[in-house]
Amino acid sequence: MTYEESIKYIHDTAAFGSKLGLDNIRTLMSILGNPQDELKIIHIAGTNGKGSTAAYMLSVFEEAGYRTGFYTSPELYRFSERIRINEDEISDEDTAYYATKIREAAEYMAESNLGNPSEFELVLAMAFCYFYDKAVDAVILEVGLGGRLDATNVISRSLLSVITKISYDHMQYLGDTLSQIAGEKAAIIKPQGRVIVYPAEKDVINVFENRCREQQAELYVAELPSQGTASLTEGQTFFMSDKTYTTKMAGLYEINNAALAIQAIGLIRKNFLRISDEDIYEGISKASWPGRFEILKHDPLIIADGAHNEDGAEALSDTLTKYFGEKKVSLCLGILKDKEYAKMLSHLLPHADHVIVCDVPNPRSLTAYELAEVIHEKEPNVTTFICHTAREAYERVQEEKNNAAAFIICGSLYLVGSMRALYLSRRLRKASRNPLSAGTLLRS
């Protein structure tokens, strides 16, 4: 298959639907020779912070000179973001090669009545084969949904399990209480393995303790850092174990993700002897993760944040208060209908001067009209503008003239990804017209 044919094939598998469970992925990986069993894997689950924690760890490994595979989903901008080695995304040629290889195995499954792998399972299988063939030193593997029945849990062992902050999301699949949700995440802990978890309520920690007893695994509860300085343009400093670290990521929640990553690396340093204290410091300071309180434009100030559940909205609210105080911001907002959008709005609307509502480019989208009605019920004095596409919302943001401190694009990673792509395209067009100004791309 060509690259274009490969992407079409992968996306067309959505027609088969998907279900949580490991039968399909186990069969598929068995046909492919189980390359995942030969990889050194750091497995990351959690409700919020998985991507950032993974990005910090990847940056440290790269700083130390290791070649590290990185699997994540969904992509914000292009398919190749899902499968990387260090900062290098999988090439179009390799995408076509591995998609063709996986298609042959999937068609054999279908012909033999062994099941139809989902899109997520196909891409994960591609990643495992790619990382194995490229002989990476380690793999950072991000869970897609939950943990127990997530396809990434096809792995039989890991160097370390990492569980980020547990909060309410995907309750229709994972349960209605934090303990139930934690139980789904805890299932990635392997026999005789090790796990480090974000600090949580006693009921949640009890779940992890029970799982570790069952698996004869070691449990570590991370310590949160002390906040230092925080600046929109300069990033943040934080303190942990008598050391000072910096991160260029401005979201207040990011220092907790960085601290979790630092402590996770501490647990596996003996497996990667070249990682020094300086590598950790430099890796944390250089790490970035798109769409998480990311400045897309400085004048006017436009920021994209992937807050897509109540906990994420609350964390965004805290960050807005830190940087803007009582000043109002303009929101560009789109939310999926299976999220607790009323609770999300309760954190976001108090900051809003006005709101541009937009359909999310996903079949699960809450319509712009529905979202506008909910906003009007909660805050009838907030002016709301309705847009139906990310392009329309983008144009509306470009035309806005008001005294708001910033535009904040949030509510769904799918909306953030679409809007971010439009801003990246604009930067590239500006650079092509004035190649001497390429160094200004981050301050368009």
Q: What gap in Å lies between CA 227 and CA 207, rounded to an integer?
A: 29
Q: What gap in Å lies between CA 335 and CA 412, rounded to an integer?
A: 5
Q: What is the pTM of this model?
A: 0.93
Looking at per-residue pLDDT, the higher value among 294 and 440 belongs to 294
Q: What gap in Å lies between CA 140 and CA 42, rounded to an integer?
A: 5
What number of other Cβ atoms are within 10 A of residue 264's Cβ? 25
What number of other Cβ atoms are within 10 A of residue 401's Cβ? 6
Q: What is the pLDDT of residues 197-211, one digit of tens each?
A: 999 999 999 999 999
Q: What is the pLDDT of residues 398-428, one digit of tens each?
A: 877 677 899 999 999 999 999 999 988 765 5
Are 344 and 310 within 8 A, CB to CB?
A: yes
Section 56-70 average pLDDT: 98
Q: What is the pLDDT of residue 444?
A: 27
Residue percentage of the chain with pLDDT more than 90: 80
Burial class (CB in 10 A: 0-12, 13-18, 19+), 107: exposed
In CATH, what is the architecture of 294-443?
Answer: Alpha-Beta Complex (3.90)
Q: How confident is the model at residue 18 (pLDDT cuts 50, 70, 90)?
A: low
Q: Does residue 23 carry a pLDDT above 60?
A: yes
Q: What is the pLDDT of residues 259-318, one digit of tens each?
A: 999 999 999 998 888 999 999 999 999 999 999 999 999 888 999 998 989 999 999 999
Are 50 and 143 within 8 A, CB to CB?
A: yes
Could you state, in order of their start, the residue ranges of all structural domains in the chain?
A: 3-286, 294-443
Q: How confident is the model at residue 112 (pLDDT cuts 50, 70, 90)?
A: very high
The CATH topology of domain 3-286 is: UDP-N-acetylmuramoyl-L-alanine:D-glutamate ligase (3.40.1190)
